Structures are given as C-alpha cells and as structure tokens.
C-alpha cells in the first residue's frame, strides 16, 4: 500500500507539472514594493480612463504586472501560508502584489477590493468570504478592464474569468471514505463550514455523495447536521456541544468541514471523555490537526499542497493580466456561467501517512508535528 501511495503522489505531482503553463515571461518588478498588506482605505470609485488598466493587459504587456489579492481572512494558519506562497510565486514572475484581508467582514472586503481596483491593478485575485456578495466586485473590476481570478473559493453568479482550487467535492469524499471505513454503521455528526462559502457546500456535497447510500440502507443515521456561521470555531464548538447533548453523547463519528472546526469538535469531545474514542475528520492539514492525528485525537485530514495551488494561481494571474491563454482542466457552474477552472487533486492523510505527505513535503516540520505526542 505504501508503494501505491508513493506512486499516486508521483502521479499527482507529475500531473501538476503537466498543468504548468509553459515558460512565463518574467517582467520587471514595479518600483513600489507594495507586497505587504495595507490598512483598509475608504472605498474608491473605478479608476478614471487615464488611470485604468487597458483591457487585454496592455499596461501589463508594457512591463508592469500589478496583482491585487483580496483575501477573506488571515486569522487561520492555512491562509497565512497561502498569502506568503502566492506573494513569493507572483514576485518570482516579476509581478507586484498588493494584499488586503477583511477577516470575515463582507462589507470591508468589498471596500478593499474597490480600493485595489482604484490603484490600477492589472488582475484581481479574490478569496471571497461570501460567494454571492463578491459578484458585485467582479462587475466593477470588469468595468475597469480588469480580469478576476477566483482563488480556492468560487465567486457565484458572476462572470469570473477563471477559478483555481482543489477538487473540493473530492475533499469531502475523501473525508467520508476514511470515516465510513472505520465506522460503517452508527450515529454521525456533520459540522459544516460557513453556509455562505461555496467551498463548504461543495465539501458537504462530496461527503453526502459517499454517505447517502449508507443512510438509505439504514446503516448510518445523521443525528446532527449544522453549518458553522462564518467559520468561527466558537460556533463549531457550540454546535458539537449541542450535538452531544441532543444525543446523550451517543455519537459514533464526526466529519468537520476543516481542521479548525475539527479542533473545536475535539475540545467538545474531550469535555465528555470522548476525545480519541470518536473518529473525527477534518481538512487543510493544519499543524494542530497533524498533532491531533499523531496523538490519536483526530482520525484524518485532507492535505491540499498549497504551494502547488499558489504557484498555479500566480502563473494564471500573470497570463490573464498579460492577455496570454490560460489552461483549464474543468468548467464549474457558478450559477451564471461555466467558469474555466483548474482543479488540483487533494490527498487524504492519516497516522500512517503523515510522514510521507505533509512532513516529506516540508509543509510542517517533523519535530513540530510530534511535539504533542506524550511519551509513556
């Protein structure tokens, strides 16, 4: 099995290489460093005709690629990694990156995106907090001649130019496959992500694609199913407490939308003496999750090699900004159009594969992952 996993990982990375976009011309960096996050400024109207970016990347082709990166949040470990990796990858291609994060505030994210547009960027990259609310920003960017790349989360009901992410339905399938292998029958709890996040919906779709046949047969009973408002871990913790109280602690398995919500689930289980006894699935391969896995408190996570995502997104961004053709391997409906998409393959990780995946890739250091393991 280990040999098959290794071969699968080699095939994965080979496919990522095949999805590379050829030799990308390296343009000179802009004189203003502009890579660090800036404090929010009042929302500005679209740039004047004189300052606007010409359609088709004319300004970018002249030698300056300016990328605006509008992020939902930097309050979770995973997104800090995305910020640094995307910034480094884009700058290695000669681009200037202007990053702003709204930390879960829809109105602030819209205002920040408007500010980025007003600064004369060539391409807007968006990680939306609210998949629906950011549609207005896509329209404003297009009015200014700026293309929009949705990063990891799809913007709904808008003419997004391209979407790059991991196959999020597959993430949910991997979670459910791992847990149903351990618990083919019993009471299941599902702790979802934010209902406003399109990825959270895709994850749940993947989970229930696997669970539904077992539910229909009566093997599995969903005893609690709730979204986590705004991805706030305190809400996930309260949901898990409610699930345990409603079922007299008779819970056999939990699938959580990400590792932050899984950590909240584990805290609630620990209060009832159930941590390590009830299988828990998460995703993102956060350090805390890896520590939980080797310590026996979390069953699995789904690793999404963020470095590959950031590199692919940076190359796509430069190509879109300069008017070059960008390669997609899928189209995804966002309610308005079929969005050209590049979806990468996620990897299931459990106690037996931590070392050969997230540690071997340098995603986390071995000493950090195993620091929480108690020596007996």
| Lowest model confidence (mean pLDDT) among 29-38, 107-116, 178-187, 205-214 | 29-38
Cβ-in-10-Å burial (0-12, 13-18, 19+) of 90 comes to: buried
Helix spans in the chain (H): 2-18, 58-61, 77-92, 106-118, 135-143, 168-182, 198-217, 233-246, 259-271, 287-294, 306-321, 366-369
- Calculate the CA 299 to chain-centre distance: 20
Q: Cα(140)–Cα(143) distance, rounded to whole angstroms?
A: 5
Whether pLDDT at 179 is above 70: yes
The CB density around residue 26, as the number of other CB atoms within 10 Å, is: 12
Residue 76 confidence (pLDDT): 87
pLDDT in tens, 103-159: 999 999 999 999 999 999 999 999 999 999 999 999 999 999 999 999 999 999 999
Q: Cα(123)–Cα(118) distance, rounded to whole angstroms?
A: 12
Q: Cα(138)–Cα(3) distance, rounded to whole angstroms?
A: 45
Tokens of 8: 């699968």
Q: What percent of the chain has pLDDT over 70?
A: 82
Residue 282 confidence (pLDDT): 98
**What band does 372 get if pLDDT is binned at 50, 70 and 90?**
confident
pLDDT in tens, 323-350: 999 999 999 999 999 999 999 999 999 9
For 342, the enclosing helix (H) or strand (E) is strand 338-344
Q: How far apart are the first and last CA of the chain?
A: 29
Residue 374 confidence (pLDDT): 54
21 against 351, higher pLDDT: 351
Q: What is the three-class DSSP state of 229?
A: helix
Q: What is the three-class DSSP state of 63?
A: coil
Residue 145 confidence (pLDDT): 97
Mean pLDDT of 50-74: 66
Q: What does pLDDT average to over the chain?
A: 86
Whether pLDDT at 29 is above 60: no
The CB density around residue 222, as the number of other CB atoms within 10 Å, is: 14
Tokens of 315: 């190359």
| Lowest model confidence (mean pLDDT) among 16-20, 61-65, 258-262 | 16-20
pLDDT in tens, 277-300: 999 999 999 999 999 999 999 999
Mean pLDDT of 244-260: 98
pLDDT in tens, 9-28: 444 444 443 343 333 333 33
pLDDT in tens, 189-237: 999 999 989 899 999 999 999 999 999 999 999 999 999 999 999 999 9
Residue 225 confidence (pLDDT): 98
- Contact by Cβ (8 Å): 109, 43: no
The single residue listed with the structure tokens 């709890």 is: 189
Whether pLDDT at 320 is above 50: yes
Tokens of 115: 């500010």
Residue 63 confidence (pLDDT): 63
- Contact by Cβ (8 Å): 198, 263: no
Residue 293 confidence (pLDDT): 98
Whether pLDDT at 32 is above 50: no
Residue 64 confidence (pLDDT): 78
Tokens of 65: 């690629």
Residue 373 confidence (pLDDT): 78
């Amino acid at each position: 099995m280990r040999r098959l996993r290794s071969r699968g990982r080699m095939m994965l990375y080979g496919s990522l290489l095949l999805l590379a976009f050829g030799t990308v011309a390296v343009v000179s960096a802009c004189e203003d460093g502009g890579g660090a996050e800036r404090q929010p400024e009042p929302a500005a109207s679209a740039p004047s005709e004189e300052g606007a970016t010409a359609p088709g990347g004319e300004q970018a082709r002249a030698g300056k690629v300016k990328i605006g990166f509008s992020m939902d949040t930097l309050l979770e470990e995973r997104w800090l990694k995305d910020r640094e990796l995307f910034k480094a990858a884009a700058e290695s291609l000669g681009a200037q990156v202007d990053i702003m994060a709204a930390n879960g505030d829809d109105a602030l994210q819209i205002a920040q995106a408007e500010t980025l547009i007003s600064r004369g960027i060539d391409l807007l990259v968006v990680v939306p907090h609210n998949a629906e609310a950011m549609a207005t920003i896509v329209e404003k960017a297009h009015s200014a001649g700026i293309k929009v790349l949705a990063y990891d989360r799809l913007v709904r009901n808008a003419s997004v130019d391209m979407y790059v992410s991991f196959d999020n339905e597959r993430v949910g399938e991997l979670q459910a496959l791992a847990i149903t292998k351990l618990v083919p029958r019993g009471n299941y709890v599902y702790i979802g992500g934010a209902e406003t996040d399109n990825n959270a919906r895709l994850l749940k779709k993947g989970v229930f694609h696997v669970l539904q046949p077992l539910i229909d047969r009566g093997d599995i009973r969903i005893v609690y199913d709730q979204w986590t408002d705004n991805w706030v871990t305190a809400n996930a913790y309260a949901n898990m407490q409610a699930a345990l109280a409603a079922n007299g602690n008779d819970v056999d398995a939990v699938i959580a939308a990400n590792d932050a919500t899984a950590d909240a689930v584990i805290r609630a289980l620990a209060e009832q003496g159930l941590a390590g006894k009830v299988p828990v699935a998460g995703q993102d391969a956060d350090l805390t999750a890896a520590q939980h896995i080797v310590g026996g408190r979390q069953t699995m996570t789904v690793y999404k090699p963020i470095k590959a995502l950031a590199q692919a997104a940076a190359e796509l961004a430069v190509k879109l900004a300069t008017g070059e053709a960008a390669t997609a391997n899928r189209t995804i409906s966002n309610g308005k159009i079929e969005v050209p998409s590049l979806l990468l393959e996620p990897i299931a990780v459990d106690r037996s594969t931590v070392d050969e995946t997230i540690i071997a890739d340098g995603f986390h250091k071995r000493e950090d992952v195993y620091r929480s393991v108690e020596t007996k």
